[in-house]
Structure 1
Amino acid sequence: MIWNLALKTRAYRYFGHQDVITGVQFSPSGNLVATSSKDRTVRLWTPTMKGESTMFKAHTAAVRSVAFSHDGQRLVTASDDKSIKVWSVRGQCFNYSLNQHTNWVRCARFSPDGRLIASCGDDRSVRLWDTSTKRCINCFTDYVGSTTFVDFNSSGTCIASSGADSSLKIWDLRTNRLIQQYQVHSAGINTFSFHPSDNYLISGSSDSTVKILDLLEGRLIYTLHGHKVALRHSSVHPQAAVKHYQTTTYVWHDPIFSWIAP
């Protein structure tokens, strides 16, 4: 579903996937929507009344995440088949696979310049890939359990990764060192978003809360309550729009977002 936030009404509702939808993302230009599903497919939608879609199929197991490159030309997907796949948006076709994870891959994201891909999964690792050589160039393994989510900050100098052990870690890619670690949730972290300024990070957890971290001061500054079940997706606009696992989307309008705006 696509919602009109000004009118607080549903704008479009599309059907196509045959199983649970695990990920959704607008293209940078806003003219396309990508979705991933447990039905092993990825779909690329045109967000109009007609809602036409193109189906991408190459994974052999559930697809856990989908994300556009920052130029909108490529998609990257992560799957239970232990692979990461890169797709051409313009050509609407599969390009190549990245294969070194030894268990399910939960999440994959492009760096802002598109030269790197970060991925994480149930093999307790976070991997960094070079998109030109298609090789894994680094692997971070400092996790007790599954790694659940990974993303770059807006400058591309750091990645953050979260774990089922409720930890959140930030790595400096210039030194390949762990520079910050947080343990603020009481259950596994499923999603997070960097604020556009890179000074804050918003995380969502199976403990049904949203936490806002001040990365400059290295501390938790806010906890947002309202969800009754585990949070699965979040984004920052810089208001925090948070989607939980079942049928409810919360859009938070709070004074804190006025003073952490870039």
Structure 2
Amino acid sequence: MPSMASVLEDPSLERHFKGHKGAVICTDFNPNRKQLASGSVDKTLMIWNLAPKARAFRYVGHQDLITGVQFSPSGHLVATSSKDRTVRLWTPTMKGESTVFKAHTATVRSVAFSHDGQRLVTASDDKSVKVWSVHRQCFLYSLNQHTNWVRCARFSPDSHLIASCGDDRTVRLWDTSTKHCINCFTDPAESATFVGFNSSGTCIASSGADSSLKIWDLRTNKLIQHYQVHSAGINSFSFHPSNNYLISGSSDSTVKILDLVEGRLIYTLHGHKGAVITVAFSRAGDLFASGGADGQVLMWRTNFDKKSYQDVLQQHSRRSTPDPAPHLTDIHPRTPHLHRQQRSAIQISPAVADTQSIDPHVIELGRSVHSATDLLSLYQSPKRA
């Protein structure tokens, strides 16, 4: 198959980063700076500066593998969760300061900021979801209706809701003002591995160990799209800021790109040797990252959001005979159209070595733990949560 990367509108592999000594579990872009964070089985947080030849920073402090990472909305803090049962807040600077939340009684699977940066939500194998004050560095409340490990929890864009999912095969929706579970989506087939809101907060998606990805409309509480385009479990996904696209990373070693408006798979990206464990769009949507069991972090330029998929297909001189692509309102809520992999999806297999990425000089930081006062003096303190 000829290379597809030469066509401008296709996603293209921009850089690859090597520095982790184990599988890459989580990634996130800084909202305000050209930085990418990654956490790994090697227990370290890496901050990659996207400028050419810029130094990278390795932050040491966790006693076990890092399971989740997210920049604060300001970009001045980074939160990480770990199998060591703690959450850390880092200042991604040369000082390498961090403060520790002794968060749970078992592995902490995920960590995420609220939209205003004042709160954190964590999910754990102790079957709980917990909410914390960033400014006061303290526990606020716990959500406790899951009956098995909780794999992921996220705030809605307006922070009025929390979505969580886990090995009890449920996706739960919580009201942050009442602390009550207001909805529960059950999947009898398989445990849910990841959950997330789209940027408008009107939909949530969840992925499963059974390779499926489902999208619910929160205005109607109905399942509206169901995709089975991977051949193994989905470990992570990310909505494009436009809400028109979604990327997913799977244990089948691929990244898939879905067009949510047309309801179809449009790209399959090859580049990792082994499972793809994490994917993340940048806040602008012009870049996305993937990390995997091969210890690599790949950074891709989106490109495909600049032009319609049909135009791209024509440039490739390919003829498409995919599933019919009903609009969301055309899908019967009780029997959502199941979208499987189509032959028309464009395959992209870049030669990773050809990106000419130079392994950056890595500076190791962060063994000391500093007080909350020291940590928070580096940015303007928000109002008390």
Aligning the two structures, in what range does the TM-score lie when normalised by the shorter sequence? over 0.9
Match of 2:245 among 180, 183, 200: 200
Larger radius of gyration: 2
Structure 2 residue 89 is the aligned partner of structure 1 residue 41 = no
Match runs of 1:78-93 below 5 Å: 78-93=123-138
Q: Alpha-carbon deviation of 1:258?
A: 4.0
Q: Alpha-carbon deviation of 1:256?
A: 2.1
Residue 17 of structure 1 is matched in structure 2 by 62
Q: Alpha-carbon deviation of 1:226?
A: 0.2
Residue 163 of structure 2 is matched in structure 1 by 118
Residue 32 of structure 1 is matched in structure 2 by 77
* Inter-partner Cα distance in structure 2 for 1:93 and 1:140: 30
SS at match of 1:222: strand
Gapped regions of structure 2 (runs ≥ 5): 1-45, 309-385
Q: Alpha-carbon deviation of 1:246?
A: 5.2
Match of 1:95 among 140, 144, 151: 140
Contact 1:2/1:10 (<8 A) preserved = no
* Inter-partner Cα distance in structure 2 for 1:22 and 1:246: 16
Q: Alpha-carbon deviation of 1:7?
A: 2.1
SS at match of 1:252: strand
* Inter-partner Cα distance in structure 2 for 1:227 and 1:97: 37
Q: Alpha-carbon deviation of 1:142?
A: 2.4
Match of 1:184 among 212, 221, 229: 229
* Inter-partner Cα distance in structure 2 for 1:206 and 1:158: 25
Q: 1:123 to 1:59 in 2, by over 3 A?
A: same
Give the AA of the match of 2:198: N
Render the CA deviation track for 1:135-191: whole Å, top value 9, x for unaligned. 101000024111000000011010000000000000000110000000000000010
* Inter-partner Cα distance in structure 1 for 2:93 and 2:295: 22
Residue 108 of structure 1 is matched in structure 2 by 153
Q: 1:176 to 1:88 in 2, by over 3 A?
A: same
TM-score for both structures, normalised by structure 2 = 0.66
Give the AA of the match of 1:81: D
Match of 1:242 among 269, 272, 290: 290
Match runs of 1:107-256 below 5 Å: 107-237=152-282, 238=285, 239-245=287-293, 247-253=295-301, 255-256=303-304
Render the CA deviation track for 1:54-95: whole Å, top value 9, x for unaligned. 100130000000111111111101000000010111111111
SS at match of 2:301: coil
Q: Alpha-carbon deviation of 1:231?
A: 1.5
Q: Alpha-carbon deviation of 1:229?
A: 1.6
SS at match of 1:221: strand
Q: Alpha-carbon deviation of 1:222?
A: 0.4
Q: 1:245 to 1:71 in 2, by over 3 A?
A: farther
Q: 1:209 to 1:9 in 2, by over 3 A?
A: farther
Structure 2 residue 110 is the aligned partner of structure 1 residue 65 = yes
Q: Alpha-carbon deviation of 1:104?
A: 0.2
Stretch of structure 1 that moved more, 243-252 or 5-14: 5-14
Give the AA of the match of 2:257: I
* Inter-partner Cα distance in structure 2 for 1:227 and 1:246: 7
Aligned identity (percent) is 79
Give the AA of the match of 2:244: N
SS at match of 1:13: strand
Give the AA of the match of 2:289: A
* Inter-partner Cα distance in structure 1 for 2:103 and 2:155: 19
Contact 1:110/1:116 (<8 A) preserved = yes
TM-score for both structures, normalised by structure 1 = 0.96
* Inter-partner Cα distance in structure 2 for 1:22 and 1:116: 22
Task: Select the structure with the greater relative contact order (CA < 8 A; seq sep ≥ 6).
Answer: 2
More strand as a share of residues: 1
Gapped regions of structure 1 (runs ≥ 5): none
Q: 1:89 to 1:206 in 2, by over 3 A?
A: same
Give the AA of the match of 1:178: L
Residue 29 of structure 2 is matched in structure 1 by none
Render the CA deviation track for 1:191-249: whole Å, top value 9, x for unaligned. 00000000110100111100000001100000110011212211112221112245210
Contact 1:143/1:163 (<8 A) preserved = no
Q: 1:97 to 1:245 in 2, by over 3 A?
A: farther
